Amino acid sequence: MATTYDKKSTASGVASDLASSITGKVVLTTGVSPNGLGAHFVETIAKHQPALLILAGRSAPKVQATADKIKSDPASANVETRVVILDLASQVQIREAARHVLAFPENIDVVVNSAGIMAGPYATTEDGIESQFGSNHIGHFLFTNLIMSKILASKSPRIVNVSSNGHALSPIRFDDYNFQAGKTYNQWDAYGQSKTGNILFSKGLAQKLGSKGLRAYSLHPGVVFGTSLAVGLGEEDFQDLGTIESDLEILCHPVLM
């Protein structure tokens, strides 16, 4: 028997559930530049009256643009936002951002690590780590652990690391995460490695800190069009990914977080 859904009532129910989970909470989200998943997330939850939204990103003007958009919406105009400059490709700057956050008087109820880069030519972070692994995983790993005291001080701490079905493209290459200094680099293997890192980080957090009340999650956000994630990638890049998908017999759309 087919089931018919009332889209309006379903959306209303979802909004009600969301409000009960968000109202009064302090939420820190990375990667909130306009037109990205992180921005959409904070703009949505802002309508359900969190106590504070901490918006973290590399570009101050872009992060501020998202904060301004939240303030311009009557449904979220009274929600406090706070901008934190966070460059996940620089461990020196990550530590500075963490010091900034630790100075806040509020505890942090929810951390959503949404920032990410995908594919592209071989490059390294400021610290010499392959850029996707260094930014998508290592940067978030360091930042989150540095502010852990703020998170664990919450009554119901939550950490969400945005991953992807793309994790199936590669495990973590523990013996050679830098692809022999780029000599054996494959952009999709590198992306898969970083997304596997997000999942293992979540699992490790749950195992090691679950007894302290922490709940950690990792997710595949689905197929996403129109974000800035795939900027600079061409048809050949996606053809290469399609070939890899076929070989692995997985379903992993190219425009995924």
What sign does the dihedral 230-233-239-240 (CA atoms) show? negative
Helix, strand or coil, per DSSP, at residue 43: helix
Q: 215 in helix, strand or coil?
A: strand
Q: Check: CB of residue 167 under 8 Å from CB of residue 214.
A: no
| Partners of 111 in the β-ladder | 28, 159
Residues assigned a catalytic role: 191
Sole residue written with tokens 């703009």: 43
Cβ within 8 Å of residue 96, ≥6 positions away = none
Q: Are 235 and 44 in contact (CB under 8 A)?
A: no
